[in-house]
Structure 1
Amino acid sequence: MVTHPFAPVVDENCRTLILGSFPSVKSRENGFYYGHPQNRFWRMLAAVYAEDAPESIAEKTSLLLRHHLALWDVIANCEIDGSADASVREAVPVDITRITDRAHITRVLCNGKLAGTLYARHLQPMVGIPALVLPSTSPANAIWTLPKLTDAWRKALTDENATFCE
């Protein structure tokens, strides 16, 4: 069983929660979310807000909190082969109250289908907020170019009434 190694990024001003599935091997090695160099999450988020892509953990955390974004994953621990979501087994969900007790979350955005599926099954019943499932920023989702990802995520992050279907 692999245990999620990172605390959620959240403060009392966060209103939107972004949830991934589980950190990749590279992310675990690099000590922070979306640490694989080919993952487009940080470049996409910086482009949405017309900022330079953050490099350090402090810069990444600052980017999130400046825009009132909390970040975590839906899986607390699981069996996983490598980094592929398709290999996740025996997933145990996180305690979402670690976020909802600190911040008044009004929107949930899921980075990819597995995060969306597990959120809907395990966490949405606890918080009552439906999630918007967005295309994964993973390098495995190569059909989605960075400009297309940025457009989809920009709409979700800036339009409170956004809907999205892959």
Structure 2
Amino acid sequence: MVRETIRHPLGPVFDSRSRVLILGTMPSPASRAGAFYYLHPQNRFWPVLAALFGEEPPADNGARRAFALRHRIALWDVLARCSIEGAGDASIREPEGNDIAGLLKKAPIRAVFATGQTAGRLYHRLCEPAAGIPAIVLPSPSAANCAMRPETLVERYRVILPYLTGP
């Protein structure tokens, strides 16, 4: 696979009602091509969230954005730039963090979640000192984490629910 330097092409998804920020590492080639988060066909992020709320997975980017915002979920990634091979988190080199602290000044985020160990480690090192909120690490919804059953992923993602309620 070819190593390339990627500058994050997607802006954060959030609004004044967002309570939870879910962070990946960097958009996959499929997500970059489709211009939205978690678009690799085998990624289970959208089916897991849909199951969590008893809904059908959103079918297009507009529906995905509306779904996230309706449920008070903000989306972004830890990295603003990195060198990477394909979508493999293990291949990330020269990481530069996104301005998570700046986003937290614009939205009433109560909790930050990272989708996978690498996103959690990079957030802790690059973003948490300025953001001031530790990330809770969720299992990766990636197909690379296929050993975890979908039902188990849904159960593990339930930890976000208490942060979504209230004013």
| One of 50, 70, 74 as aligned partner of 1:70 | 74
Shift of 1:98: 3.9
Which structure 1 residue ranges, 4+ long, deviate > 4 Å from structure 2?
A: none
Could you say which residue in structure 1 is the equivalent of 2:38?
34
Counterpart of 1:158 in structure 2: which amino acid?
L
Could you say which residue in structure 1 is the equivalent of 2:153?
149
Shift of 1:101: 2.2
Could you say which residue in structure 2 is the equivalent of 1:49?
53
Alignment of 1:6 with 2:5, yes or no, is no
SS at match of 2:85: coil
Counterpart of 1:157 in structure 2: which amino acid?
I
Q: Residues 79-158 of structure 1: matches in 2 within 5 Å?
A: 79-154=83-158, 156-158=159-161
SS at match of 2:39: coil
Output the CA distance in 2 between the equivalents of 1:132 and 1:150. Answer: 15
Output the CA distance in 2 between the equivalents of 1:22 and 1:32. Answer: 11
Output the CA distance in 2 between the equivalents of 1:98 and 1:59. Answer: 26
Could you say which residue in structure 2 is the equivalent of 1:59?
63
Counterpart of 2:41 in structure 1: which amino acid?
P
SS at match of 1:77: strand
Structure 2 regions of 5+ residues with no counterpart? none
Output the CA distance in 1 between the equivalents of 2:75 and 2:47. Answer: 15
User: Normalization by structure 2: what TM-score?
Assistant: 0.92
Output the CA distance in 1 between the equivalents of 2:74 and 2:138. Answer: 16
Counterpart of 1:18 in structure 2: which amino acid?
I
Aligned length: 159
Cα-Cα RMSD: 1.0
Alignment of 1:18 with 2:46, yes or no, is no
Identity among equivalent positions (%) equals 45
Counterpart of 2:20 in structure 1: which amino acid?
T
